[in-house]
A = this chain, B = another copy of it.
Amino acid sequence: MQMTYAEAIRDGLRVELKRDPKVYLAGEDVGPFGGCFGVTAGLFDEFGPKRIVDTPISENFIVGHAVGSSACGLRPVVEVMFDDFITVCFDEFANQAAKVRYMFGGKAKVPMVCLTINGAGVGAAAQHSQSLEALLTHIPGLITVIPSTPADAKGLLIAAIRDDNPVIFYEHKQLLGVSEDVPEGDYTVPIGKADIKREGSDVTIVAWSWMVQKSLAAAEELAKDGISVEVLDPRTLVPLDKEAILKSVGKTGRLVIVQESCKTMGFGSEIAAIVAEEGLDLLNAPIIRVAAPNTPIPFSPVLEQEYIPSVEKIVAAVKSLF
């Protein structure tokens, strides 16, 4: 069935809300309003106020309460309206959700999911446009899911809700309206398995979220010049499908990583480090990271366009390897 990315996420929520009465959704304006980007539209009418809970503007509470309620047997899905706001409840992720199981010797678990949204390109400026998915990957105990297509989004969300670990699920503003054929009903996409979004033999591009689209467009361009690009989407950053990346680089001998985040310490750093450690022999050329510069995100459209990694920059980076 044809569905947008937003609809696919909503459909995934619906599947789980129907299946498991312990699943509920809580966050700011997720109820009658349907979410800041419309992702949860209609769920309140369908499932009512017990299951779809509008909270005050209180992110420490939103995330912290999910740690408590999930430790007590519920399966909360909470929303932090923008990725940028993960910073205000960072402790609840990094020191609470992530560590409860370990600190308590495995005798507690925190099966919660937090939805949030990334991405520049809509003029939302420095505090509403970031792609900060790399930050929490440094904290063991958390799972990071970051789908690039509607079908992946739905299947990964269902898998995330059923997972017994805390999961952060990153949507992307620029993907919400993208549509494709999405399986109906109940299915999961496994957490920790990369997907080759395009096969190729000359160079591997690893990209996630919106950057998969840009990389696919770049691959199309590059094909015209006879460069065969493999586009690998890890889909989850923790756990990371290292084997798939090494395998692809083994095939192509070249690696370009494309991330929307600032260059320094974006998740591309980790991928590059892994390959430099475990796959150095596979490389025929330096690794390249195509990334946003190390600057905050500017408001003015002309500056913001310069900020976002473009198809042209990806093409140029790949070409520089040949």
Contact = CB atoms under 8 A, between A and B. Distances in A.
Interface of A: 84-85, 87-88, 90-91, 93-95, 98-99, 102-103, 125-127, 132, 134-135, 137-141, 238, 261-262, 264-270, 272-273, 275-278, 280-281, 283, 285-289, 293-296, 298
A129 to B, nearest CB: 11
Contacts of A285: 280
Nearest to A127: B95
A262 B127 contact: no
Nearest to A271: B273
A265 B134 CA distance: 8
A168 B276 CA distance: 29
A33 B127 CA distance: 38
B127 A264 contact: no
Contacts of A283: 276, 280
15 contacts: A85-B91, A99-B127, A102-B126, A102-B295, A138-B261, A138-B264, A138-B265, A138-B266, A269-B269, A269-B272, A270-B273, A272-B272, A272-B277, A276-B276, A278-B286
A138 B133 CA distance: 11
Contacts of A140: 262, 264, 293-296
A293 B140 CA distance: 9
Given A87-B93, A134-B265, A277-B286, 11 more contacts: A87-B90, A88-B91, A95-B126, A95-B127, A103-B126, A137-B264, A138-B262, A138-B264, A272-B272, A273-B287, A276-B287
Contacts of A280: 276, 283, 285-287
A286 B141 CA distance: 28
Copies of this protein in the complex: 2
A264 B238 contact: yes
A289 B238 CA distance: 18
Contacts of A238: 264
B138 A296 contact: no
A95 B102 contact: no
A303 to B, nearest CB: 11
A86 B262 CA distance: 21
Contacts of A102: 126, 295-296, 298
Contact of A270 (B88, B90, B265): B265
A182 B32 CA distance: 64
Contacts of A296: 98-99, 102-103, 140-141
